[in-house]
Amino acid sequence: MRWFRKWVLHNWSLKLMALLISFLLWATYSAEPVAEIGFAVPIEFVNVPSRLEIANDVPTVVHIRVRGRSALLRRLTPSDLGISLDLSGRTGGAGMVELDAQEVDAPYGVQIVRIDPQELRVHLVPRDNSP
């Protein structure tokens, strides 16, 4: 019983006020509307084999549609989002690279809704090392 008085009932008015404030903060945050917005995000090709280079015209940006809290999306810029395509282990020739939400680096609270285009055609050819 002494434990109950010391830890629960001691300063009960302050504890009740803290609980009320935290509830109001939670209610304010959860009442914020959810919105969607689109961004043009540049593509970064990583781990391109040293003996190969990209030969075809690959888009330099993809259009990404994101969903999240309205206040968060207002502060978001295309530089906060990133997409990296790993080309390690690829051999020469043409191939398709699929883009999915796991490859997009987005801040916490932002959900990737759509990526356009969803596939990129990448043609890798041997690098010309002539002087």
**What's the CATH code of the domain at 106?**
2.170.120.30
Q: Say what the pLDDT of residue 65 is.
A: 93
89 domain residue, yes or no: yes
- Domain span including residue 72: 33-126
Mind listing the pLDDT tens digit for each residue in 70-105?
Answer: 888 888 888 888 888 877 777 777 788 888 888 888
67: in domain: yes
The answer to whether residue 131 is domain-embedded is no
65 and 120: one domain?
A: yes
pTM score: 0.66
Contacts of 15 by beta carbon, 8 Å cutoff, 6+ apart: none
- 49 or 116: whose pLDDT is higher? 116
Tens digit of pLDDT for each residue in 14-68? 888 999 999 998 887 776 788 899 999 888 888 877 788 788 888 888 899 999 8
The residue-averaged pLDDT of 113-129 equals 83
On whether residue 114 sits in a domain, the answer given is: yes
Q: Say if residue 38 is in the same domain as residue 87.
A: yes
- The count of structural domains within the chain is 2
Answer yes or no: are the C-beta atoms of 66 and 113 closer than 8 Å. Answer: yes
pLDDT at 129: 63
Residues whose CB is less than 8 angstroms from the CB of residue 58 and which lie 6 or more positions away in sequence, other chains included: 43, 45, 120, 121, 122
More confident residue, 110 or 131: 110
65 with 21, same domain: the answer is no
Q: Are residues 41 and 75 in the same domain?
A: yes
What kind and span of H or E run contains 14?
helix 12-30
How confident is the model at residue 131, as a pLDDT? 52
